[in-house]
Every structure is written in structure tokens, then in C-alpha cells.
Amino acid sequence: MRTTVGIIGAGPAGLLLARLLHNAGIDSVVLETRDRAYVEQRQRAGILEQGTVDVLREAGAAARMDREGIGHDGIELRFDRRRHRVDFPALTGGRSVMVYAQTEVCKDLIALQLAAGGPLLFEAEALAVEGAETQSPRVRFRHQGREDVLACDYVVGCDGSWGVARKAVPADVSRVFERTYPFGWLGILADVPPSHDELVYARHDRGFALLSMRSPTVTRAYLQVPAGTDAADWGDEEIWDELDRRLETDDPAWTLKRGPITSKSVTPMRSHVHEPMRHGRVFLAGDAAHIVPPTGAKGLNLAVGDVVTFARALAEYRETGSDARLEAYSETCLRRVWQAERFSYAMTTMLHRAPEATPFDDRIQLAQLDRIASSRSADADLAESYTGFPLD
């Protein structure tokens, strides 16, 4: 097989890249290890930045998102029994975010790719990326019981932190920066309407809590738990009771709605950046290059930024003959990545209580939150960071 761009991984990054390339008249092949049902069911991020929403609309992939997505003009910070709303449009010149699950983004992009895109091969396991420094890198893969080779002009690895694309970057030129946190998120899905019309981020002495949603009838919520926690150790009523405690407020008008919990899982928390994000003609995107703790809602949006940067750079090369933007891919993406890492780290350390936290640490967290609640500039900095950094 031969194509211009070989894409490893059919998550939102790989699928969106295929769509952007198709719209630019550039052919691609997408290889995905899992089957279609798995890709369309795996639960991941659900907050789309303004830039991500705009890109999906421009790509012709937003019809269902615009019908079913839930636009959010702010979030609520809850601390010391207080409530503070961060008003995104008022603080950012009109920017906002959209609640629309990654699973739904993938379904939409898969349907478009199969209807009017290049080949999308499910259950096609990428085995190795070869020839990164040549003009024609190759992806060895296994599909339908036999091995094959995909010859490309470029390879884009959207195959996560354990995929094969990152291995194409030699160890002697790679640098890894990371932090592992001593806690995770116990996440639930529940068949009950959300208790608030916007996301609630709560800092509490017992630990962090997040109240979110998947739809007008489905609640998504999270609790900070020690690293290594088994979700099965938490009973349903125990989860609701703990959410009630951590979301407590002096406002008598607010109550937590309870309902049947349909899913429980624990997400570990870490920050990770691999540099560089390009070696020769192999480019890394999304989790293959960076991971952020979910507190800042940046993971999916960073991946979108990566593939938009690559697609624009390749289109410019084909139109003008200049490969300057392709050469600058890693540097361009990493500027945005590190800003997202900074913001996600700041949100995580401000809202989560570390196991070794002292009363001094508690007061610092409360002072940070009070600063946001009392200063328009601090409020605006959070709003600008949350709604998204420039894509290119």
C-alpha cells in the first residue's frame, strides 16, 4: 500500500487529521489496532475548546455536535463553602466551550471517513515505523491475519503514549519530562440530570470533586482518590455521599441530584511531554507526545492543535513549496503544549489536596482561589486558558 500520509491511530486526533487532509485534497490511510465498536465506545474527554469547535465546523464534522452538544459559557469554582462563577464570554471577548463527548466526535469522524475519505482500517496493528529519516518512511502492520507495509511520504503517530510511532524517535535525541501525581479520579456516569447547568470544580479538605455531564439526562462526576484505588471498592451511595460533602455550599438553593450509577472507573493522573514531536518524516500528535492531568480539560484539545498544525503545514508546502512550517512543527506545537501543561498543573495543584498537605498548603490553595474570585485579571487568565490557546 502507498499513501501520502500514514496515520497511526483512529482516535479523535487521527480521524480529524484524515478529515482535514481529505478536505485539502491530500490522501491518507488510517490504521487502528482496535475494532470500530471499541473506538466508538471508549470514554474519554468531553470538553471542547472554542478552537476545537471552530475546527470541527470548518471541517464539516459538526452537524451533530451543533444539534446535541451543550454550550457552556462558564464554570463554577467551589471552595470554603463559597461559589464563584467564571464567566467565559465576558472575560475572553466571547469565547466559550462545548460539552460533547470524545466518543461522539469519533463516531462523527468515522462516519465521514468511511463515506468520503481515504482507507480506514480497523483491527490493523501497527508493528513498527521504519525509515523515519528517509523520503519514504514505512509502517509495518498486521491486518486480517497477514503482515503488510504502508509506504508514505509522512507518518503521523496518533497512537498514544505506548504506541510504535514514538519508538521511531531515537533515544539519544529524545527528552522526557513528567510528573506522576499521588492521586487519581474516580469517575462515574449516572442516569440523572446534571445538578448544575455548568461544570463545578470543588476544592475541599477531603479532596477534589468535579460535577460534569454527558447530556441533559446523564451526569458525569469525579472524586479525588488515592493512586491505585479500585473503583469496585466504592459503593454507589458512598460515592453520592462523598460528592455531597465535597460540593457543600452555604447556598441553600443548591442540591445534589442522585440517580443510578451506570459506570465507574479510576483514571490515574500524570503530566508527560516527549520532545521533540518530530523526527525526520515522523510526526507525533496527541498522547503520543504529551499527556496532561484532566483537571484543565486539555488532552483532546491539545491533540486537535497538533493535527491542525500538521495539516496546515503540509497544505502550505504543497501550495508554495515551502517546508518551513513542517520543519517548525515540533517547536510550534510545544509552545502550546507547555502552556497547557502549565495550566493543567496549576489547576491540579490548586484544587487537589496532596496526601502530605499541611495547613499552610491548605491556606495557599484557598488564597489562590480567593484571588481568582476577587481579581478580574486572575479570573480572565483562568478563562482564557480554559477556553483555549491559539491553535497555530
Give the active site residues.
72, 201, 294, 298, 386
Dihedral angle sign, alpha carbons of residues 383, 44, 126, 123 = negative
Residue type (1 letter), 223: L
Is residue 330 within 8 Å of residue 336, measured between CB atoms? no
Main-chain phi, psi angles of 280, to 5 degrees: 60, -120
Is residue 288 within 8 Å of residue 165, measured between CB atoms? yes
Of 99, 42, 97, nearest in space to 65 by CA: 99
Of 302, 230, 239, 227, nearest in space to 269 by CA: 227
**Torsion over CA of 93, 105, 5 and 304, rounded to 10 degrees?**
30
Is residue 28 within 8 Å of residue 18, measured between CB atoms? yes
Query: Cα 83 from chain centroid?
Result: 26
Residues in the chain: 392
Is residue 354 within 8 Å of residue 205, measured between CB atoms? no
CA distances from 49 to 133, 156, 165 (A): 35, 23, 27
Give me 336's grid cell: 502550546
Query: Cα 67 from chain centroid?
Result: 22
Q: DSSP string of 324-367?
A: HHHHTHHHHHHHHHHHHHHHHHHHHHHHS--TT--HHHHHHHHH
Give me 148's grid cell: 503488510
Secondary structure of residue 23 in the 3-state scheme = helix
Q: Which residues pair with 202 in a beta bridge?
A: 78, 209
Alpha helix (H) ranges present in 190-297? 236-246
Instruction: Compute the distance between CA of residue 28 and CA of residue 108 in angstroms, rounded to an integer.
Output: 18
